[in-house]
Amino acid sequence: MDTNNSLYRPPAPHPYTEGTGDFDGVETNLLKHLPEELYKADVVDISTSDRTNYLVNDPDLISVIFEEKPEIFVKAEGMIELLRPLLGDHPIVTSNNRCLDQRDMIRPIGTMRTQQVNFEHIQDSIGRFSDYCEEIRNENRVIDLSLLLRRLNADIAYRMLFSNELPKDVFKEINSHARDFELRISQLIRETAEQGVAWQLPKLPQTAMYAAQQLRYLVSMLIDGNIQSNSFSHHSFLHKFLIARSPETNIPFTRKQLIDHVTTILNSQELAAAVLMWAFFVLSQCPEAKQKIREEVRKVAGHDDIHFEQLSRLRYTRNVFREILRLYPPIPHLTRRASRPLKLGKLDLQEGTQITVSPWIVHRHKQYWFNPDRFDPERYMRKDQHIIMKSFLPFGRGLRMCTGASSAILQGTLILARIVSKFDIDILNADKVEPEGVLFLEPTRPIVCKVTPV
Ligand code: HEM
């Protein structure tokens, strides 16, 4: 295996080379179905027999869709409908832009000030995680990396929400319902794809509805319990949600909206856990990159704790996290629907035409990236950065961009810095794992690891 990190090509399904493909009916791993042409073209017609659909890669057209005309290019219903039983009417699953007052109401949780005051929670969580890694090492255990990181990220989310550590049994319950829901959705998408209807999805099975209801019920109990005990701080997300008022109507969140938001935060942490999982996976094959992180941390913080103010100086570590977001965007495809007829570049779009913007494809596009399949964290320090950033959209773009983006990067950078400095996470089945694009980007099998101290 080539372990020179500037040449290392981490695993990804190879695109197939014959023709443009028939988009009615796809293989089990949706990423494997993507023909090579998609990674070279600006725009490709990927219509199916029942829907006109264009894949748009051109960065200027992407700007039109997300930044210039978001009121016309609304979120397409398809996939997001599948998440509605779990996330309710949260903005992330709301097609029209009428949810924008909710975005304003949650803005205080994403400010730099909130991140700074909640920094201690992340530090405490990583401290607890390090203790757990020590335990694993002492017992010489082999462990599922995804589970390990889900636990860490769920604990961080819980502390930020309620100012308390996440109890073990609560994590077990959250994780079991969330996994159950995700697995059933992924299974449904695979089955539908195999039957030959690529983009149109059937109704969710009762089992998935049940898992969603159970998780929402648990979240409602957690909210009630924390309100009753009144132990959450003024900086907690729960407090900020309780005092938030709509800028239009001055009305607070309803109970249902509160449950939507808390459930979404607990679930969004899984996206962050997925990025970290690929980061540790890739770093285990790239000793040079690990070494650079360790040297950077030592230079910035010595052997002491990393302070909030020092984070901006961990440039290489942050670029590793970014590069993983590029190679493994947890949401591999974003879809929009034209809400009225209009011209987009040379395309004449009818009302209802679907547009797919795929971070997975744009991030590996041959025209916009130099050596796109290589793991190369240093690419962000080179001069052509402005071109790169136009084609970098792991968090979406524009009006409906992820509100958790900056905190996810901050958190990811700190976790990488602290864990890589202290431990080696060795992946035991690296040659057997590939990413698979279903609703989210997932590994084709659980990634198992061993932990040893540096
Ligand atoms: C690495 C972690 C994460 C990734 C890769 C990610 C990615 C995304 C993407 C791609 C979108 C846009 C969807 C679209 O345009 O259709 C989005 C939306 C959103 N994300 Fe994240 N996210 C992450 C973590 C988080 C976290 C931790 C939170 C909350 C604390 C969060 C809150 C949201 C919200 C509220 C939206 C909806 C914005 C809207 O539709 O108006 N995300 N996220």
- E strands present in 104-263: 143-144
Residue 277: CB atoms within 10 A of its CB come to 27
pLDDT at 3 > cutoff 70:
no
Is 262 a member of any domain?
Answer: yes
Closest CA to 340 of 332, 327, 351, 329: 351
Q: Phi-psi region for residue 197, left (φ > 0), alpha (ψ -120 to 50) or beta?
A: beta
Work out whether strand 43-45 and strand 53-56 pair parallel, antiparallel, or are unpaired.
antiparallel
Q: Which residues contact 394 (CB under 8 A, 6 or more apart)?
A: 325, 326, 329, 330, 331, 359, 363
268 lines ligand 1 (CB under 6 A): yes
Strands of the sheet containing 334-338, edge to edge, are 43-45, 53-56, 354-357, 334-338, 73-75
Is 165 a member of any domain?
Answer: yes
Number of compact structural domains in the chain? 1
pLDDT of residue 188: 86
CATH number, residue 339: 1.10.630.10
Within 13 A of 242's CA, how many CA atoms are on the CB side?
15
Distance 405 CA to ligand 1 centre (A): 7
Q: Phi-psi region for residue 334, left (φ > 0), alpha (ψ -120 to 50) or beta?
A: beta
C-alpha 119/C-alpha 414 separation (Å) is 10
Is 6 a member of any domain?
Answer: no
C-alpha 59/C-alpha 67 separation (Å) is 11
pLDDT tens readout for residues 350-388: 999 999 999 999 999 999 999 999 999 999 998 877 778
List, as residue ranges, the binding site for heme.
Answer: 402
Nearest CA to ligand 1 atom 41: 400
Place of tokens 């080379």: 17
pLDDT tens readout for residues 263-303: 999 999 899 999 999 999 999 999 999 999 999 999 999 98
Q: Considering only 25-29, 32-36, 83-87, which range has the smallest mean pLDDT?
A: 25-29
395 lines ligand 1 (CB under 6 A): yes
pLDDT of residue 33: 78
Is 180 a member of any domain?
Answer: yes
pLDDT at 25 > cutoff 60:
no
Closest CA to 362 of 13, 38, 14: 38
Residue 71: CB atoms within 10 A of its CB come to 11
Is 100 a member of any domain?
Answer: yes
153 lines ligand 1 (CB under 6 A): no
Closest CA to 27 of 201, 192, 202, 204: 192
Q: How confident is the model at residue 437 (pLDDT cuts 50, 70, 90)?
A: confident
pLDDT at 73 > cutoff 50:
yes
pLDDT at 62 > cutoff 80:
yes
- Angle in degrees, CA 158, 159, 161, rounded to 5: 65
Mean pLDDT of the chain: 91
pLDDT tens readout for residues 129-143: 999 999 999 999 999
Listed in sequence order, the DSSP H helices in 68-118 are 77-87, 100-106, 112-117
Per-residue tokens: 321: 């996290």
Is 8 a member of any domain?
Answer: no
What is the average pLDDT across 299-323? 96
Distance 62 CA to ligand 1 centre (A): 18
C-alpha 249/C-alpha 199 separation (Å) is 38
Distance 66 CA to ligand 1 centre (A): 14
Domain ranges, residue 217: 30-453
